[in-house]
Structure 1
Amino acid sequence: MHATEALRRLLEHCPELDRTHDLVRQFASMLDARDAAPLPDWLDHLAVSRLPALDGLAKAIREDQHAVVQGITTPFNSGVNEGRITDLKLQKRIMAGRAGVPLLRHRVILMAGLRRSYP
């Protein structure tokens, strides 16, 4: 079965997932267009979605809405740095805090090389 067909069938059988999918696509279109004008209405839709996780997301975004608007409308972000920090934290957790700086550095460098090989 093709992935698009599987997604369509899944969304037909789960109304909550269908609403979530629609809301995520709306946010993605804001990012693609770099247009934050629909953000307040979109947050209202999240709040009334009757999906607790999305309501919580709406509250969190409203707390830092100015930063979210900047993230949507500007081409600058810290995504690469955040990815590296996430890699570092993951490696530290995997090794349960037993790794010293040299081993941790080696593993982070290997992770960075893998990221370049598989975009």
Structure 2
Amino acid sequence: MDTAAGRVTSFAEMLTRLEGERLTDWITEAMTPGPPGISTLAAGLNSDYDAVHAALTTAWNSGPLEGTVNRTKMLKRQMSGRAGFALLPRRVLPA
């Protein structure tokens, strides 16, 4: 349990601080025998290494876009069955 907690904490710190240079070492360490969930996560990260490394080393952030998509989906759910498609652009697009 201590091993799993240490690896999860280390991964969380790497995500919080955007320390992509530590990713290879973390994956190597997590792939060693230990808790099966951690090694499965490491294998998944390793299979898409380039994308994960880029996410941890670049300043780009998709948060604003995701917020807009989330808001649009919420409006669509609220309007389901109540209004036609003509009203959707009026609620989504800024005035």
- TM-score normalised to structure 2 length: 0.60
Select which of 21, 30, 33 maps to 2:17: 33
Letter of the structure 2 residue corresponding to residue 27 of structure 1: F
Q: Which has the larger radius of gyration?
A: 2
Conserved 8 A contact 2:3-2:34: no
Query: Structure 1 segments of 4 or more deviating over 6 A?
Result: none
Question: For residues 23 and 101 of structure 1, do their structure 2 counterparts lie closer, same or farther at Cα, with a shift above 3 Å needed?
Answer: farther
Instruction: Give the RMSD, CA atoms, in angstroms.
Output: 3.3
Letter of the structure 1 residue corresponding to residue 11 of structure 2: F
Mean Cα deviation higher: 59-68 or 40-49: 40-49
What runs of 5+ residues in structure 1 fail to find an aligned partner? 1-14, 93-98, 110-119
Once residues 21 and 32 of structure 1 are traced to their aligned partners in structure 2, the CA distance between those partners, rounded to angstroms, is 16
What runs of 5+ residues in structure 2 fail to find an aligned partner? none
Once residues 56 and 37 of structure 2 are traced to their aligned partners in structure 1, the CA distance between those partners, rounded to angstroms, is 21
Letter of the structure 2 residue corresponding to residue 21 of structure 1: A
Aligned to 1:76: 60
Letter of the structure 2 residue corresponding to residue 43 of structure 1: I
Mean Cα deviation higher: 41-50 or 29-38: 29-38
- TM-score normalised to structure 1 length: 0.50
Aligned to 1:60: 44
Cα deviation, residue 57, structure 1: 1.0
Identity of aligned residues (%): 29
Q: Which has the higher contact order (CA 8 A, sep 6+)?
A: 2
How many residue pairs get aligned? The number is 83
